[in-house]
A and B are shown apart, each in its own frame.
Chain A
Amino acid sequence: MQQSRGLQNTAGTEKELSPFLGPELNYTGISEKLGGIPLTGLLKTPPGWIVAFIIAFTLFVVYLVSIYVLLLFGVGVWGINIPVAWGFDIINFVWWIGIGHAGTLISAILLLFRQNWRNSINRFAEAMTIFAVACAGMYPILHLGRPWLFYWLIPYPNTHGLWPQFRSPLAWDVFAISTYAIVSILFWLVGLIPDFATLRDQAKNRFVKTIFGIISLGWRGSATHWHRYEMASLLLAGLSTPLVLSVHSIISLDFAVSQVPGWQVTVFPPYFVAGAVFAGFAMVLLLAIPVRAFYGLKSYITMEHIDVMSKVMLATGLIVVYGYSLEIFFAWYSGNVFEEYLLTNRLTGPYAWIYFGLIFCNAISIQLLWFRAVRRNLALVFIISIFVSIGMWFERFVIIVMSLHRDFLPSSWDMFIPTVWDYSLYLGSFGLFFTLMFLFIRFLPMINIFEMKMFLHQAREKDHLREEAAASAQAGD
């Protein structure tokens, strides 16, 4: 199974086949390296992982405590009020769901576009998507005044004869998010099946072997299997692709459908999608750079990957900046006193520092990425990614809180001051995210084994053909 076409498989060619592949890679090496991480015995778990996991799990406990307090006393433990009835809850919801988008973009759209360099980061990005959606998905439930009744938003036949109100964007959210979560999980799981089989074959421990045996669903690598697998992947990729655009578009409609100045903006759907991809790539980079260093995966996630991802970040970032400038233009062009004041308030109001923070993070800091040297400087890319993550969080704060806190009637204007429980639930959601993330990189192959091998093979094939062509050309001379 690990051999195909009889190419040598033990030693690397020591020749750069593609900028996205380390020169020392070979088939066995890939399996052993990538399969080896999940198959490491529990007692041999790297201490670095243990420390990181303990930190993540502690934050996860903070998350649970925050939810407990929230359910006990109600959403009043947060800083929300009238007029700012949505605060960190919805900011974090939009932020997390935005982060998820990069994963789907990488696994689906780049698959359809045959961007094979994605192979080394897609598993990782997909996992990130799922965990981010899990983090995001909790917020709409928790933000309800009576969260135990969240199922009333789901259309189900009931004796009251009551349905959700389909005119409400919040009812659309339910479909958008649940569809997104289901498709993402399916896509991820299907992609894992061949690798589960590899791990089953590699595992020495009987128990581990059995587990992977069960979850690999009898995968034997037959041509039929591969054929069906390819077809299923393609279908799921086809399903996911519109989701990349639709989910965040629908979430942007939560705002765009309303009539709050600063929310009622027609540019929101594409602007939100771009922002989501922007934030998502920042998060992928934030995760990939340390993991790559820690597990020595430099041959798998190469500088070329970092470079390409930085370019995507720059491109989407510029779209977002275009959105910001349009907002300013509209405020002026509308001649509408409420829209005009919105801009005044952003620039000079009590939260102006957040708006300027947003501009610095999302518009100014990314300009460095125009330079190749910066894109290939891990430290700088890492720092810029942090700025982008913060900037995108600021952006949601600007949209949600700054629009609500001073809307139509000056009499109802008020400030939103987050409480300790606002912060703890946000921090705690990192706990949920990283707990899942660390479990994932420890117990599942974080880079797609078979796709890496396929990628290597294709590169070699290409190289082989190139050599042959060169040889024949020489011969022809």
Chain B
Amino acid sequence: MTTNSNNTSLDLNAIRARLSGSQGQQLWRSLDELADTDEFRELVEREFPQGAAEMTDPVSRRTFLKLMGASLALAGISGCTYQPRQYIAPYANAPAGWVPNVPVFYASTFVLNGYGSGVLVKSLESRPIKIEGNAAHPASLGATDVFAQASLLTMYDPDRSQLVLKNGQASTWEDFTAELQNALSVQETSQGAGLRILTETVTSPTMADQLNQLLTTYPRAKWYQYEPVNRTNSHKGAQLAFGEDVDTLYDFSQTKVVVSLDADFMSPGPGYVPYSRAFTNGRKVSEEHREMNRLYVVESTPSTTGATADHRIPLQAHKIDSFARTLAQRLGVGSAAGAEFTEHEEKMLDVIARDLEEHRGANVVLVGEHQPPELHALVHAINDALGNVGSTVNYIEPVEVRPADHYVDIADLTSEINAGLVEMLVIIGGNPVFNAPADLRFDEQLESVNFSVHLSLYVDETSSLATWHIPAAHFLESWSDARAFDGTASLVQPLIEPLYAGKTVHEIFAEMLGQSDQSNYEIVQTYWQSQLDAPFEEAWHNALSLGLFDGTASPVKTVTLQGSAVGEFVASESEGIEVVFRPDPSIWDGSFANNGWLQELPKPQTKLTWDNAALMSPHTAIGVLGLNIADPNNPTINDYEGLALSNGQMIDLDYRGGKLRIPVWITPGMPEDSITLYLGYGRSKAGRVGDGVGFNTYALRTSDAPWFGSGAEVTNAGERYSLVSTQDHWILEDRDASIYRVGNLKEFAHDPEYLKHEIHHEEFGDAEHEQFSLHPNAVYKYNAWGVVINLNACNGCNVCVIACQAENNIPVVGKAQVAVGREMHWLRIDRYYSGDFDNPATYLQPMACYQCEQAPCEVVCPVAATNHDREGINNMVYNRCVGTKYCSNNCPYKVRRFNFIQYTDIESPSLKLMYNPDVTVRNRGVMEKCTYCVQRISAARIEAKERAVQQGDPEYIIEDGAIVMACEAACPTEAITFGDLNNPESRVSKLRAEPINYGVLTELNTKPRTTYLARINNPNAELETE
């Protein structure tokens, strides 16, 4: 084709970049394809490139017709198009034990803030498609946090960086290594005086080893750590208390009283799952076990921990220190703070102190990471005084390779750059340009470094200012290792070859150390070879299959409390409105901003999606915005409806030199005169999902007050912004008995049936009542699946929601669609407020299809697209659904979800790889809903049948616990139990027989298969009267 040579301008540089950026095995058909020119696309898209040209020429039309005739005749023999030569993998030599469509699970480690937790990654045909917790791993116990679940989507994110970039232009790894070597050779002469390495928190032993080697090779080089969410305060607190660095471990299994001082230990962070689980196990009551622990929470922001509390005190963050000091004084530790407290708070202090005294050695006092080091030290002293150390509180050597003060580190680095001392800066992960303290102006400094490298999953804010950007391999694509909160080391093993030729930190360090011949795998293996006892192969394989190195947990360490631990109370200035920063419960520090699952995840307390906001109490909002309510002195929770109309009102925040315009979200339970800002939003270079979502609160965060500070000026900006939440109505409208039942331990212990009696009496008086139905109950011969959810265990952490989304190919719909009420989550967590306007009780209720025995949805479907199966599950036949939506209208629980438009992305090639092949990918116009993970039930049934056939049994039996739903598996507190109701010995049958078991809206005779165990609180008798 002569025309091609004229029109096509092949950009050879672009091709080279593309080639080196892709993997060696990627196939290309021509240089045109490589350059991805328009001509090439046209060529591919035209059906008859030659024939069509012939048609315009009258002379050769006859020839064309002849050709057509011939090809039609030949079509039946050979097919008419020439197939390009491509290689396919027939699996003639399949890996050992490989069976098509039977998943294989690989143990790996998910790392958040440097701390690892074990995961099992489900792999189908070499594609990771679901992340589960690793039951053998102490930080996982089989469950995960939301980020581990959602990291799957990050791996397949089509927006991930795919090319090595130099000053924003496509380059290659080879060019980079060449320049890196040049720069290093300069550094060699000065012993690395101009070399700086900036990492996030490091616990990885291999990385520590490499860093050691680097710092030995370049003795004058420096290694800094910075991460916006870090453990600086607890490390400094330990230093103050014990004169040495230690990490604290809590044992909740025997605790009777827990006091949390702004410590949200049931939100993601080190020890999240084991702490949540052990604590919650102490709250699960039954007819036999009528005891539970008691939780007091003093907090500055409503949290999942606060929602679980028996007594919760909202307090400004800076007041928590004096609250703790007063408490300590009543326990005989230190002197009083001299601060003033309200009558109620004074009483709380008395009661808490008494309760702690009564349960010496069986309680835990925790303090939040964002509270100052002095308070951490004081809490160590309190635990010591209460005799908790050694029983419920233990100390270990720090897990981090080098506990650092992150704010000092980043400040030092910035000033060194400013002083011109930094010639070469290697940034491993993180995004300091976006999230470094605003007063440091790190972004301005970075540009002045001659040679800077940023290894990152995305071309983010930092990458675009660095000289070099190297695409990072996702943890599902790399070999590495990490340590858990208790010191246990485990391996990160890849599930798939890097999709976009990403590199790991180990490869960069190896390159810097002149060990470029070592592969990622070899680096990690070589390190562990030096650590493990012979025989190495066996130990290595054990670690890989088990998911951890057995016996690497840190031993308990004895520490002595220093006299300085208690410290002196320093009255903090408390003028104006306080600003509190918290990592976002959905997108953390902003690193998950391009993850649609997480962006759309309703935040546990506010149910906000796709945005952050300035959270403030109703009273503060009334003051700040100048709102009118009927009786401002005595507002009730019902006034919330009116106040909620002010959500989205913009305010201008002027705080420590930073300015921010951000919408208000009125949050009952916030302390007065306090504003909480979630971090991580307002990204400008996150990707297509995260760009421009929310407001950048890092703009207000300074290195001297990273977590909270007073003195914010707040003015009403007079503008409105549309904030979107998934739940607009916040109170139960006196429907508690039908929807959410709450009792208290005292009465429960006296009569476990009391809730039932109370409700029965309310509805029917003393008369006997029997539910009557004209429809005979269906008989389930085999299994009858059911679920019981323990409301005492649910803290609304959202992991189940994401796990369900990952398992069931649930699409992300975007902010605009959530705004009109079309979110697709099959499993949602309802949140209701009750009681006091300023400090309400928060009720959380996971809600998904109940698989009603008498399902109202089934009778109204005109095409019978939703039906019961023989095990009692209300199934959706997606390809039969025509979309009348009648089923949803008739569903009293509104758990059905409809594809109003084409929500599922069926175009992006990488996302196609991610979808679970066992679950239909739903298109536009189809209703969908929870089916108790019917695909998992089928898999277990097939397995049971196979086993029965092999053993010659006439009947198959599915063991209790053989089927675990995605939500159930991910739940840190084991709040969800699935099982066979036909089997009286199954866990679910036993739970259902509990006296506090109830169904939602059972008066409608729907006979739900999912029931709840009522929430039982354990309030202190001395405070109960309030």
Q: Are A and B interaction partners?
A: yes
A interface list, Cβ under 8 A from B: 73-77, 79-86, 143-146, 149-150, 152-153, 162-165, 167-171, 174, 254, 257-260, 337-338, 341, 404, 406-415, 417
B760 within 8 A of partner (CB) = no
Central interface residue in B730, B733, B889, B925, by most chain A CB within 10 Å: B889
CB<8 Å pairs between A and B, sample of 11: A76-B817, A81-B820, A82-B822, A82-B898, A85-B886, A85-B888, A145-B884, A145-B925, A146-B926, A164-B862, A406-B729
B interface list, Cβ under 8 A from A: 727-735, 738-739, 817, 820-822, 828, 830-832, 845, 847, 856, 859-864, 880-886, 888-890, 892-894, 896-902, 924-927, 1000-1001, 1004
Closest to A410 in B: B729
A-B pairs with lowest CB-CB distance, top 10: A145-B883, A145-B925, A76-B900, A81-B821, A76-B901, A85-B885, A412-B894, A411-B830, A170-B862, A146-B925
Central interface residue in A77, A85, A167, A415, by most chain B CB within 10 Å: A85
B36 to chain A, nearest CB (A): 29
> A82 near B925 (CB under 8 angstroms)?
no
Give A86 to B726 CA distance when docked, in angstroms. 19
**Out of A169, A174, A410, which one reaches B832, CB within 8 Å?**
A410
> A146 near B894 (CB under 8 angstroms)?
no
B975 to chain A, nearest CB (A): 18
Closest to B867 in A: A165
A205 to chain B, nearest CB (A): 48
Closest to A419 in B: B820
> B862 near A414 (CB under 8 angstroms)?
no
Chain A residues, Cβ within 8 Å of B728:
413-415
Give A171 to B926 CA distance when docked, in angstroms. 18
Closest to A171 in B: B862
Chain A residues, Cβ within 8 Å of B883:
75, 144-146
> A409 near B894 (CB under 8 angstroms)?
yes
Chain B residues, Cβ within 8 Å of A260:
889-890
Give A348 to B453 CA distance when docked, in angstroms. 62
Chain A residues, Cβ within 8 Å of B822:
76, 81-82
Closest to B732 in A: A410
> A86 near B892 (CB under 8 angstroms)?
no
B223 to chain A, nearest CB (A): 49
Give A259 to B1002 CA distance when docked, in angstroms. 13
Chain B residues, Cβ within 8 Å of A84:
821
Closest to A336 in B: B1003
Chain B residues, Cβ within 8 Å of A80:
885, 900
> B886 near A408 (CB under 8 angstroms)?
no
> B856 near A259 (CB under 8 angstroms)?
yes
Known: A74-B925, A162-B880, A258-B860. A410 touches B890 (CB 8 A): no
Chain B residues, Cβ within 8 Å of A83:
821, 888-889, 894
Q: Is the interface of A mostly helix, strand, loop or mixed?
A: loop
Give A410 to B925 CA distance when docked, in angstroms. 26
**Out of B739, B859, B1001, which one reaches A167, CB within 8 Å?**
B859
What's the count of A-B pairs with C-beta under 8 Å?
A: 169
A158 to chain B, nearest CB (A): 12
Chain A residues, Cβ within 8 Å of B830:
409, 411
Closest to B889 in A: A85
> A153 near B863 (CB under 8 angstroms)?
yes
A74 to chain B, nearest CB (A): 4
Known: A85-B898, A144-B882, A167-B859. A409 touches B889 (CB 8 A): no
**Out of A145, A404, A406, A414, which one reaches B882, CB within 8 Å?**
A145
Closest to A141 in B: B882
> B890 near A258 (CB under 8 angstroms)?
yes
> B900 near A410 (CB under 8 angstroms)?
no
> B900 near A74 (CB under 8 angstroms)?
yes
Give A74 to B883 CA distance when docked, in angstroms. 11
Give A168 to B927 CA distance when docked, in angstroms. 17
> A75 near B894 (CB under 8 angstroms)?
no
Give A164 to B730 CA distance when docked, in angstroms. 40
Known: A79-B820, A152-B882. A74 touches B860 (CB 8 A): no
Give A73 to B899 CA distance when docked, in angstroms. 11
Closest to A408 in B: B892
Chain B residues, Cβ within 8 Å of A414:
728, 821
Closest to B885 in A: A85
> A337 near B925 (CB under 8 angstroms)?
no
**Out of A146, A153, A259, A404, which one reaches B862, CB within 8 Å?**
A153
> B901 near A82 (CB under 8 angstroms)?
no
Closest to B877 in A: A162
A297 to chain B, nearest CB (A): 43
> B862 near A409 (CB under 8 angstroms)?
no
Closest to B926 in A: A145
Closest to A165 in B: B864
Give A145 to B863 CA distance when docked, in angstroms. 13
Chain B residues, Cβ within 8 Å of A174:
862
Known: A81-B821, A162-B864, A410-B732. A146 touches B882 (CB 8 A): yes
Central interface residue in B862, B882, B888, B897, by most chain A CB within 10 Å: B862
Give A417 to B901 CA distance when docked, in angstroms. 17
Chain B residues, Cβ within 8 Å of A169:
860
Known: A411-B830, A413-B729. A165 touches B862 (CB 8 A): yes
**Out of B729, B817, B884, B900, which one reaches A170, CB within 8 Å?**
B884
> A82 near B860 (CB under 8 angstroms)?
no
Central interface residue in B728, B739, B864, B899, by most chain A CB within 10 Å: B864
> B884 near A144 (CB under 8 angstroms)?
yes
Known: A145-B924, A152-B882, A259-B856. A82 touches B735 (CB 8 A): no
**Out of A86, A164, A168, which one reaches B889, CB within 8 Å?**
A86
B34 to chain A, nearest CB (A): 35
| Interface contacts beyond A145-B884, A146-B883: sample of 17 additional A-B pairs, CB < 8 Å, sorted by A | A74-B924, A76-B817, A82-B896, A85-B885, A86-B886, A144-B882, A144-B884, A146-B925, A150-B882, A152-B882, A153-B863, A167-B859, A168-B886, A259-B890, A260-B889, A410-B733, A411-B831
A148 to chain B, nearest CB (A): 9
Chain B residues, Cβ within 8 Å of A408:
735, 738-739, 892-894, 1001, 1004
Known: A82-B822, A259-B856. A404 touches B889 (CB 8 A): yes
**Out of B847, B863, B892, B897, which one reaches A82, CB within 8 Å?**
B897
B549 to chain A, nearest CB (A): 45
> A417 near B831 (CB under 8 angstroms)?
no
Give A165 to B868 CA distance when docked, in angstroms. 14
Chain A residues, Cβ within 8 Å of B880:
152, 162
Give A146 to B882 CA distance when docked, in angstroms. 5
> B864 near A164 (CB under 8 angstroms)?
yes
Closest to A404 in B: B889
Give A89 to B881 CA distance when docked, in angstroms. 18
Chain A residues, Cβ within 8 Å of B845:
411
Closest to A149 in B: B882
Chain B residues, Cβ within 8 Å of A145:
881-885, 898-900, 924-927
**Out of A74, A170, A258, A259, which one reaches B901, CB within 8 Å?**
A74
Closest to A169 in B: B860
> A337 near B924 (CB under 8 angstroms)?
no
Chain B residues, Cβ within 8 Å of A164:
862-864
Give A36 to B898 CA distance when docked, in angstroms. 54
Give A396 to B642 CA distance when docked, in angstroms. 27
A409 to chain B, nearest CB (A): 6
Closest to B864 in A: A165
> B896 near A337 (CB under 8 angstroms)?
no
> A411 near B727 (CB under 8 angstroms)?
yes
**Out of A75, A81, A146, A170, which one reaches B860, CB within 8 Å?**
A170
Closest to A81 in B: B821
Give A86 to B892 CA distance when docked, in angstroms. 15
Give A415 to B821 CA distance when docked, in angstroms. 8
Give A210 to B731 CA distance when docked, in angstroms. 72
A89 to chain B, nearest CB (A): 9
A347 to chain B, nearest CB (A): 15
Closest to B822 in A: A81
Chain B residues, Cβ within 8 Å of A167:
859-860
Chain A residues, Cβ within 8 Å of B881:
145-146
Give A412 to B820 CA distance when docked, in angstroms. 12
Chain B residues, Cβ within 8 Å of A337:
733-735, 738
